[in-house]
Amino acid sequence: MTQPLRLGIAGLGTVGIGVVKIVKKHAALLEARSGRPVTISAVSARTKNKNRDIDISGFAWEADPVALATREDVDVFVELMGGHDGPAKASVEAAIAAGKHVVTANKALLAHHGQELAAAAEAKGVILRFEAAVAGGIPVIKALTEGLAGNEIDRVMGVMNGTCNYILTRMYDADLPYDVVFEEANQLGYLEADPNLDVGGIDAGHKLALLASIAFGTQVNFDAMELEGIQRIQIADIEHAADMGYRIKLLGVAQMTGRGLEQRMSPCLVPASSPLGQLEGGTNMVVIEGDSIGQVVLRGPGAGEGPTASAVMGDVMDLARGFAVSTFGQPADTLRPVRGVKATKSAPYYLRMTLLDKPGAMAKVASVLGDAGVSIDRMRQYGHEDKTAPVLIVTHKTTRDSLDVALTGLEETGVVEGHPVAIRIEEV
Ligand code: HSE
């Protein structure tokens, strides 16, 4: 009989259990498709005796994931614990050193240590894959490394944190403030153990850094990313943006410029009628633009048991079939170190400020913008409350530097209360 591909699974949370279920439920299908059985030899998790949705008594138990990673009867170490250091890193390193292939869903680990782990895997002649780390069930790593391998990639964009997209769309649909919807998301179990990973844009930033590496042949450089979360977005911004035909999304954009790699993960306005604008709830979307393909839009579930386990199994099946591809789509030693640069391309911006009801206040605003070289496209002033009025401005395309000069100037006019809000409008 053909030798089975034997898995060792570390981490029996939502995703780990999902993988066990697929291996059990689809044993015949997996064997028919790969030509060999896919089996589980051993598992590891924080707690052994826990009420799980599935029987794991048929698998050997290892309390220590490093011991699991180096077992004789494990061909592929499946790391589903999470965390960018600690047991996840130690066990992945141990697996590679022991000559095991590795499949992981750990975006943080790869965003921080991807280059060294990919190099270690190649030196040892093993494969390290991470489809489930980016955009849950969407096979975007395969799309970039395989299907689009003949393209020079111009730009990668994505809404890749379902929790943030849930919060932003729920605020709009139910007319609820951020704090209330954040608590709802918490009750629903949508938030990571450290919620700042979600709402601070870090989780989505990790994912974008991994896509940028494959797209542009560069070493992962998460530290150089411009990162801003959704915590400052108010219901007023969402409603005003909608009034002007936009939606607010936590959008990642990566593109190569003459000066270096631009990577931004920040709230942006996108046209309400665009595919990104229409993306609802926890769904993810990745948009890839290449010289031959034009634009590809991939949409699907960004988290959850079935979708994430599906992505893990995509990588496992490649290994079962004997298909080998470098972690970031090309040998690790050919990935270029790259400098991160701030957004240099001009874009229109949405500005919201609270204006004091004084003669000449609006004229001062217009003059500060004009002096900074920022031209107004559209402007709205809403009714006064307590001698102030919200004012919205959509600018023509301008650079971030000019905008920053204007924002400082606005705060110094004496007619703008507090800090003006500025959100980039992305052409998608
Ligand atoms: N917390 C992520 C999300 C899923 O909300 O999309 C795991 O990356």
Domain 141-302+328-341 has CATH 3.30.360.10: yes
Q: Which of 121, 359, 119, 353 is nearest to 237 (CA)?
A: 353
Q: What is the pLDDT of residue 1?
A: 64
Over residues 198-218, the pLDDT tens digits come to 999 999 999 999 999 999 999
Look at residue 383 and tell me whether its pLDDT is greater than 80. Answer: no
Q: Do 85 and 59 touch, CB atoms closer than 8 A? A: no
Which pair of tokens denotes residue 219? 């070493």
CA of 134 to the centre of ligand 1 (A): 9
- 163 CB near ligand 1 (under 6 Å): yes
Domain 5-133 has CATH 3.40.50.720: yes
Q: What is the pLDDT of residue 381?
A: 85
- 348 CB near ligand 1 (under 6 Å): no
- 165 CB near ligand 1 (under 6 Å): no
What's the whole-number mean pLDDT along residues 286-303?
97
Q: Is 131 helix (H, G, I), strand (E, B) or coil?
A: helix
Q: In the chain, where does the domain assigned CATH 3.30.70.260 lie? A: 349-425
What's the whole-number mean pLDDT along residues 38-64?
94
What's the whole-number mean pLDDT along residues 41-55?
91
- 228 CB near ligand 1 (under 6 Å): no
Q: Is 274 helix (H, G, I), strand (E, B) or coil?
A: coil
Q: In the chain, where does the domain assigned CATH 3.40.50.720 lie? A: 5-133
Look at residue 76 and tell me whether its pLDDT is greater than 90. Answer: yes
pTM of the model: 0.94
Query: Which atom of ligand 1 lies nearest, measured to the CA of 166?
Result: 5
Look at residue 98 and tell me whether its pLDDT is greater than 70. Answer: yes
Q: Which of 89, 100, 207, 364 is catalytic?
A: 207
Q: In the chain, where does the domain assigned CATH 3.30.360.10 lie? A: 141-302+328-341
| Rounded-to-integer distance, Cα 71 and Cα 62, Å | 10
Around Cβ 20, how many Cβ atoms within 10 Å? 24
Provide the CATH number for the domain formed by 349-425 in this structure: 3.30.70.260
Look at residue 277 and tell me whether its pLDDT is greater than 80. Answer: yes
Around Cβ 133, how many Cβ atoms within 10 Å? 25
CA of 265 to the centre of ligand 1 (A): 14
Q: Do 185 and 303 touch, CB atoms closer than 8 A? A: no
What's the whole-number mean pLDDT along residues 237-254?
95
Ranking 16-20, 69-73, 198-202, 414-418 by mean pLDDT, the lowest is 414-418
Ranking 53-67, 288-302, 383-397 by mean pLDDT, the lowest is 383-397
Query: Which atom of ligand 1 lies nearest, measured to the CA of 163?
Result: 5
Compute φ and ψ for 401, nearest 5 degrees: -65, -45
pLDDT range class, residue 126, cuts 50, 70, 90: very high
Beta-strand ranges (E) seen in 35-142 are: 38-44, 60-61, 76-79, 101-104, 128-129
Q: What is the pLDDT of residue 254?
A: 97
Ranking 52-56, 312-316, 335-339, 362-366 by mean pLDDT, the lowest is 52-56
**Average pLDDT of the chain, as a whole number:** 95
Around Cβ 179, how many Cβ atoms within 10 Å? 9
- 116 CB near ligand 1 (under 6 Å): no
**Residue with the two structure tokens 């990668």:** 156
249 among known catalytic residues:
no
CA of 167 to the centre of ligand 1 (A): 12
